[in-house]
Amino acid sequence: MEQRGNLSFAEESTNLIPFEMKRVYWIYDVPGGAKRGGHAYKEMSEIIIALSGSFDVIINDGRKEKIFTLNRSYYGLIIPKMVWRHLDNFSTNSLCLIAASHDYNEDDYIRNFDQYRTDLGL
CA-CA distances (angstroms) from residue 48 to 3, 25, 28, 87?
A: 27, 10, 13, 10
* Residues paired with 119 in a beta bridge: none
102 is catalytic: no
Q: Of 39, 42, 86, 117, which is the active-site residue?
A: 39
CA-CA distances (angstroms) from residue 29 to 63, 80, 97?
A: 32, 26, 13
Catalytic residues: 39
